[in-house]
Chains A and B, each alone.
Chain A
Amino acid sequence: MSATLIRGGHVVDPSAGVAADRDLLLKDGRVAAIESPGKLTAAAKQAGAEIIEAGGLVVAPGLVDIHVHLREPGQGYKETIATGTAAAAAGGFTTVCAMPNTIPINDSVETTRWMQSAERNPSAHVFPIAAATRGSMGEALTEYGSLKAAGAVAVSDDGKPILGEAIMHQALAAAARAGLPVIQHAEDTRMTVGCSMNAGALAFRLGLRGMPVAAEAGLVERDLRLLAELKGGRAHLHIAHLSTAAALDAVRRARRNGLHVTCEVAPHHFVLTESAVGEYNTNAKMNPPLRAESDRRAMLEGLLDGSIDCIATDHAPHASHEKEQEFDRAPNGITGLESALGLTLELLHRKHKVSLSRLITLLSTQPANLLNLRGRGSLVAGAFADVVIFDPKVEWTFRAAATRSKSRNTPFDGWTMLGKVRMTLSEGRVAYRAD
C-alpha cells in the first residue's frame, strides 16, 4: 500500500471540468480521491500518505505524447526506452506512444511486448504503435487483432508513408475492425526525393532541394478520399505532425463532412519557421520540415480554433555524429519531450492567452482519448495516478547538455522556457523531481 497526498495545488483536469484548488489523494497507482483543500487530510493520515506540498503550482494529469521515437530495439546509441521515458518524465509526460521504426521494425507481437516489459525500466508508460504493414514495406498488412491484444494502440508506417491506395484502403478497413486508428505520416515521398527542407525561396537560395506543400496536402487528401469511401465503417485516420495550412484545410473540410479524422501538430511547427535552418543548422532539419510563416500561423490557428486535436512532439533523438554532417546527409528529427511544455506555455498560454485548461486538453486529455488510452489524461477517481506538477510562471533556460535524453539534437538549446516541471508521478511513483 502506497499513498500520496498532493496538497494545496491548483488542479487543472479538463476531463472532469476542474480548474480549481483541490487536494489529490493517490493510492496504489490510482487516483483515490479529489476534494476541496483540506478535506482529504484525515483520509491521507489513515492511509499513511506521503505529503507533497503543491502551493502555487499547477497539478494536472500527466502529459500524453502520442508520437515519440524511443529507438529501442536496435538503436540504443540514440536513445533507449529508459532514457527516452526519463526525458519524458522530466518534460511532464507520463505516457508516450512509441513509433514502430525500430530495428527490427515493430511489426510483431514479440517486439510490441518487449517494448512494454518492465525490464526496459521505463519512467513513463509506453504504448507501442505497431507497423501497419510488414516491415513497413507498404505491401502486406500486419496482424492488427493480435497486435492490439499485445498492447499496440494504433498502427502506422511512420516515416515510410503508405503510398499504395489499395493497401491504405485495406489498412483503414482492417484497423477499423480491430478498433485501432491508422496514423499516417502524410508525405508523398515520390515528390520529396533528395529533399531536405521546405520548398521555396530559402531552399532555392541555400541550394537545397525542397519538399513541396503538395507532398503533404496531396497525401492527406488521398487518404481522406479513402476514408470517405469507407464511411459508415468505424475507420479512424489520424494525421501525424501536420505542418501545412493546405493539409489542415483538407482536414477541416473532411470533418465538416463527418469523417473520423484527427490530427496532431508538433511544437516546432507552431514555434519555428524554415528560417531556423539559417546556415545549414541540422538541428532545424526534420520531416515534415519547418515551413513558411503562413503555415506556422495556420498551425497556431488550428490549435486555437480546435481543428487540431493535440500536440505531439515527434521526439526523434539522433547521436551527435549523425547530426554533425552535411545538411543533406544528416538524419531528420529533433528531440522534443523536455521542451514541449515550456514552448507551449510560452506561445499558447502567455502569448496567445490560451487557458491552462485548454492547454492540458491539447497535451493530455485529447491525445489520451484519441488513442483510447483508458485511465490516462485524467485525474478522476480511479484513473491512473499519472500527475504532473508544474510552476506555470517561472522562466528557465533550456540546456541541451542537461537533457535526460541520450541525444541533444534540439534547436531550442539556450532558449528561455516558461513553466517548469517540479514533479512527475507515473502511476503513483515519482518519475521526476526537479533539483
Chain B
Amino acid sequence: MTAIKTRPEPPRVALPSAPTPAATPCSRSLLSVTSLSLEDVSAILRLATLLEAEEPLARAKRLASRRVALLFYESSTRTRTSFELAAKGLGADTALISSQSSSIEKGESLKDTGITLRALGAECIILRHLSSGAPYLLAQATGLPVLNAGDGMHEHPSQALLDLRTMLRTLDRPETGPSETLLQGITVSIVGDILHSRVARSNALLLPRLGARVVLCGPPALLPEVALELSPGITIERDFDQALAKSQIVMMLRIQKERVTGLHIDLNEYMARYQLHEERLHARAPQAIVMHPGPMIRGLEITSEVADGPQSVIAEQVRNGVAIRMALIHRALAPELPQLPVKSPAKAAKTMKQETAKKKRGGS
C-alpha cells in the first residue's frame, strides 16, 4: 500500500443550500424582501400601477388560463383574498388549498404537497405557513416560483411592498424616483409585538434601504435589542409618545397571541403604554399617517376612533394589496415587462390618487 497521489481539488465550496435539491429555486420567487434589488422594488411598484390602471378585460388576458395555487396553512382574510383577486384579475385560474380541508390534515408533507400541486399544473404557488422559512423549502422542492404570503415570524414581503405603495401615495411621492431616496426624510414607527411580527421584519428590512428611518417601539418582551441588527437605519424607542413625536408614519401591530409562548404580558399596562388612541395621536402626531397590516384588535393596540379616523390609511393598504400582488404574480409568471398601451404611468398614478382621495372623502 502506498500513498496515492490525487489531483488537487477545487477550492472549498460555500455551504450547500439544502439536501438533494429537486430543482434550483426560481429567481422569480419572492421569499424575502432582502432578495429584491432596489430596481426590482421600483419595477414592482411601476408594474402594480400599470396593471391597476389597465382596462379589466385587457388585463384578464395577461395570464389567461395560467394556474396559480394558493396554499394556506394559516388562516387569512386580507392576504388570501387579495392574492386570489389579483390572480383572477390577470385572468389566471386559481386553486385554494388550506390545511384544514386537504391531505395536509392526513400528514402529507409540504414537499409532497408542493410536488402534487406542480403535477396538477400549478405554475406558481402562493404560500402562507406557520413555519419560518417554509417557502424556501417549497421553492427548493418544486422549482416553481413561490410567493411568500407570510411565513411564521419571518417575513411577509408582499405586505411590505403594499405598505410602501401606500406610504408613497399618501405622502404624494413619486414611485419612479431614485429608489434609495424614495422615503428620504421619513420616519416610520412600527409599534407593538415586533418579536412575533413578519410584517415588522419585512418593513424594517425594506424601508431603510429606501431612505426611511425606522423606529421600533414596544416593551422588551416583545422587542428584544437584537432587533437593531436587522438593518442599519433602525433605532429602538421604548416610549411610544417619543416615537410618535418624530414619526410621519406610525404602523401599529397586533399582539400575536398564537405565537406568544411563555411571555406574560399585562394587557392593561400594555394598553396604557402602547395603545394608539385619539388623545395620544392628536397630542404627539396630529399629521402622522396611521397604518395597520390587520387583523386589528380594536380597543387593544388601536381604538376605533383612530382606526376609522382621517389619519388612517388602513383600507388603502388593503386596496394597494391587490395591485402589488398582481405585479408579483405577473412577475412570477411572465417576467418580461408588459407592453402597455395608452396611459402613461404618471397619468395612471394620478388617476389612482384622485380615486383614492375621492373614496377617502366619502368614507370619512
Tell me whether B124 is interfacial, beta carbon within 8 Å.
Answer: no
**B283 CB–A CB distance under 8 Å:** no
A208 interface contact, C-beta 8 A = yes
**Residue from B5, B10, B19 within 8 A of A408 (CB atoms):** B19
Query: A279-B136, A324-B19, A325-B110 known; A53 and B129 CB under 8 Å?
Result: no
Distance in angstroms between the alpha carbons of A262 and B3 in the assembled complex:
37
Contact (Cβ within 8 A) A193 B262: yes
Complex contact B17–A329 (CB within 8 A):
no
Measured CB to CB, the nearest residue on chain B to A434 is B4
Complex CA distance for A396 and B12, rounded to whole angstroms: 10
Of the candidates B1, B11, B110, B262, the one whose C-beta lies within 8 Å of that of A326 is: B110
- A206 in the interface (beta carbon within 8 A): yes
Interface secondary structure of B, over-half rule: loop
Q: In the assembled complex, which residues on chain B have CB atoms less than 8 Å from the CB atom of A276?
A: 15
Q: Is the CB of A389 within 8 A of B1?
A: yes
Q: Is A2 an interface residue (CB 8 A)?
A: no
Contact with A along B87-117 (1 / 0, CB 8 A): 0000000000000000000000111000000
Chain A residues near B129 (CB-CB < 8 A): 326
Contact between chains at A200 and B226 (CB < 8 Å): yes
Given A283-B19, A324-B137, A326-B137 in contact, is the A395-B131 Cβ separation under 8 Å?
no
Against A, the Cβ 8 Å flags (1 = close, 0 = not) of B126-166 are: 00010111101100010000000001111100000000000
| Chain B positions within 8 Å of A416 at CB level | 9-13
Q: Mark B192-228, 1 if CB is under 8 A from A, else 0.
A: 0001001001000100000000000000000010110
Q: Across the interface, do A193 and B261 meet the contact criterion of CB distance under 8 Å?
A: yes
Q: How far is the CA of A279 from the CA of B131 in the complex (A)?
A: 13
The reply to whether the CB of B342 lies closer than 8 angstroms to some CB of chain A is no
- Among A53, A324, A415, the residue within 8 A (CB) of B111 is A324
Chain A positions within 8 Å of B13 at CB level:
414-416
Would B201 and A205 count as touching, CB distance under 8 A?
Answer: yes
In the assembled complex, the Cα of A278 lies from the Cα of B16 at a distance in Å of 9
With A207-B132, A283-B19, A284-B15 in contact, is A57–B198 under 8 Å at CB? no
B229 interface residue (CB < 8 Å to A): yes
**Per-residue B-contact encoding for A318-337, CB less than 8 Å = 1, 0 else:** 00110111111100000000
289-334 of chain A: CB within 8 A of chain B: 320-321, 323-329
- CB-CB under 8 A from A389, the residues of chain B are 1
Given that A201-B226, A396-B6 are known contacts, is A280 also in contact with B133, CB under 8 Å in the complex?
A: yes
Write the nearest CB–CB distance from A26 to chain B, whole angstroms: 15
Chain A interface residue count, CB cutoff 8 Å, equals 51
B1 x A422 contact (CB < 8 A): yes
Tell whether A48 is near chain B: CB-to-CB under 8 Å.
no
Confirm or deny: A194 has a beta carbon within 8 angstroms of a beta carbon on chain B: yes
Asked whether, in the complex, the Cβ of B8 is within 8 Å of the Cβ of A328, the reply is: no
Taking a contact as CB atoms under 8 Å apart, the answer to whether A320 and B224 are in contact is: no
> A204 contacts B229, CB within 8 Å?
yes
Q: Mark A21-43, 1 if CB is under 8 A from B, else 0.
A: 00000000000000000000000
Chain A residues within an 8 Å CB radius of B224: 204
CB distance from B118 to the nearest CB of A (A): 15
Q: How far is the CB of B66 from chain A (nearest CB, A)?
A: 27
Contacts of B153 in A (CB 8 A): 207-208
Nearest A residue to B227, CB-CB: A204
Residue B2 is within 8 A (CB to CB) of chain A in the complex: yes
Q: Which of B228-245 contact A (CB under 8 A)?
A: 229-230
Chain A residue with Cβ nearest B151: A207
A320 to chain B: which residues have CB within 8 Å?
Answer: 19-20
A210 smallest CB distance to B (angstroms):
9
With both chains docked as a complex, state the minimum distance between the C-beta of B285 and any C-beta of chain A, in angstroms: 27
Residue of B nearest to A51 (CB): B1
A181 touches B (CB below 8 Å)? no
Asked whether, in the complex, the Cβ of B134 is within 8 Å of the Cβ of A326, the reply is yes
CA–CA, A408 and B18, complex, Å: 11
Closest to B155 in A: A207
| Binary interface encoding of chain B residues 156-191 relative to chain A, with 1 for a CB under 8 A from any of its CBs, else 0 | 000000000000000000000000000000000000
Residues of chain B within 8 A of A221, CB atoms compared = none
Alpha-carbon distance A211/B53, docked complex (angstroms)? 49
A415 and B2 contact, CB distance less than 8 A: no
Please state if B15 and A411 are interface contacts (CB–CB under 8 Å).
yes
Task: Report chain A residues within 8 Å CB of B261.
Answer: 193-194, 209
Closest residue to B35 on the A side, CB-wise?
A279
**Residues of A45-75 contacting chain B, CB below 8 A:** 52-57
CB under 8 Å from chain B, chain A span 382-421:
389, 391, 393-397, 400, 408-409, 411, 413-416
Given A389-B1, A391-B4, A282–B19 Cβ distance below 8 Å?
yes
How far, in Å, is A350 (CB) from chain B's closest CB? Answer: 12
CB of A281 within 8 A of chain B? Answer: yes
- Residue pairs across A and B with Cβ atoms less than 8 A apart, 22 shown, are A55-B1, A193-B262, A200-B226, A201-B229, A205-B205, A208-B153, A208-B154, A279-B31, A281-B15, A320-B19, A321-B109, A324-B18, A324-B19, A325-B110, A325-B111, A326-B131, A327-B132, A328-B152, A389-B1, A391-B3, A391-B4, A396-B6
What are the 9 tightest A-B residue pairs by CB atom distance, in nearest-first order? A207-B154, A280-B133, A207-B153, A326-B131, A207-B132, A201-B229, A56-B3, A201-B226, A53-B1
Q: Chain B: residues with CB nearer than 8 A to chain A?
A: 1-6, 8-13, 15-20, 31, 109-111, 129, 131-134, 136-137, 141, 151-155, 195, 198, 201, 205, 224, 226-227, 229-230, 261-262
Q: A324-B18, A324-B111, A394-B6 are in contact. List 16 more A-B contacts (CB 8 A).
A: A52-B1, A56-B3, A57-B1, A200-B226, A201-B229, A206-B132, A207-B152, A208-B132, A208-B153, A279-B133, A279-B136, A281-B16, A281-B17, A326-B137, A391-B4, A409-B19
